[in-house]
Amino acid sequence: MNYRHAYHAGNHADVLKHTVLVRLIEHMKKKPKPFRLIDAHAGAGVYDLAGIEAGKTGESQGGIGKLEAPFDQETEALLQPYRAVLAALNPQGGLRYYPGSPDLALRLMRDDDRLTANELHPQDAIVLERHFLREPRADVTSMDAETCLKARLPPPERRGIILIDPPYEAANEAEKSVRMLAQGLQRFAQGIFVLWYPLKADATAETVLAGVAGLGADAVLKVELRVREAFAGGGLAGSGLAIVNTPWRLDAELRVMIPALAGRMGLGNWGQATVAWISPPK
């Protein structure tokens, strides 16, 4: 396991994933019934953008670093909970600390909502465990993500969001992500599943999307944000999310928010947003 999220925290892919996650959590909060977020690849919790790892890549400058100036009113209203978490994490102003998905989520969740945060990397798992030491709403585990989903689904709350966010380091990771989604849906058909994938000059996105389409799941939305052209050896040109059991009207919100983010984070005229149904709601 070479991947460490500290090198990539706050980049354009994090901004896409986290702003969409925030909207999903806000949708879940419209009903009083508690829900659970299962973050199968949780990372370390919070990242220091002034730290050695983030400094080595400077990736956050092309992501969250480009969001300082306000957007139009409608986009700002959708981003408000995300901005509120960033402000709470940085009470001195500026943007030194950036939340990982489990920290961001828990700050927006209610007293009765629950988080399962799973991280396999032994060092990040220890940091994550410490981060949530005094947090009764969090259940921190350190197992393979596939095992975690098998063990934790269906959740006792019977309402939930499941985030599948692997690093796609291993050759078979696209197939494994789709397999986790398929197995997850068998255990918890009504769950809202969010599967992240990279847009690179390779077949990963195609493999993931073909696999997701083949599941025949309901209300499957594809959300992509591209910041530049993909070329061999050129790394991450953008990223995407396949959302299963998409909440009602989330697509309309994302059709406002994602183009605004792509316009800001895209290089030159390369910023491109896609919000499209893979399979529309029945």
State residue 260 phi and psi, 5-degree precision: -65, -45
State residue 116 phi and psi, 5-degree precision: -110, 115
Residue with tokens 């059991």: 245
When asked if residue 165 is in the footprint of ligand SAM (CB under 6 A), the reply is: yes
Task: Examine the residue annotation and report whether 165 is marked as an active-site residue of this protein.
Answer: yes
One residue of 86, 97, 106, 119 binding ligand SAM per CB under 6 A: 119
Question: What residue type is assigned to position 87 of the chain?
Answer: A
For ligand SAM, the closer CB: 117 or 221: 117
Interatomic CA distance for residues 58 and 225, integer angstroms: 19
Interatomic CA distance for residues 60 and 164, integer angstroms: 22
Question: What residue type is assigned to position 163 of the chain?
Answer: L
Task: List for the chain the helix, strand, coil content (%; round to 5).
Answer: 40, 20, 40
When asked if residue 145 is in the footprint of ligand SAM (CB under 6 A), the reply is: yes
When asked if residue 131 is in the footprint of ligand SAM (CB under 6 A), the reply is: no
Question: What residue type is assigned to position 151 of the chain?
Answer: A
When asked if residue 75 is in the footprint of ligand SAM (CB under 6 A), the reply is: no
When asked if residue 43 is in the footprint of ligand SAM (CB under 6 A), the reply is: yes
Q: Which stretch binds ligand SAM (CB under 6 A): 48-56, 112-120, 154-162, 212-220?
A: 112-120
> Of 144, 165, 202, 218, which one is the catalytic site residue?
165
- Catalytic site residues? 165
Which residues of the shown chain bind ligand SAM in the complex (CB under 6 A)?
1, 3, 5, 14, 17, 39, 41-43, 100-101, 118-121, 124, 144-145, 165-167
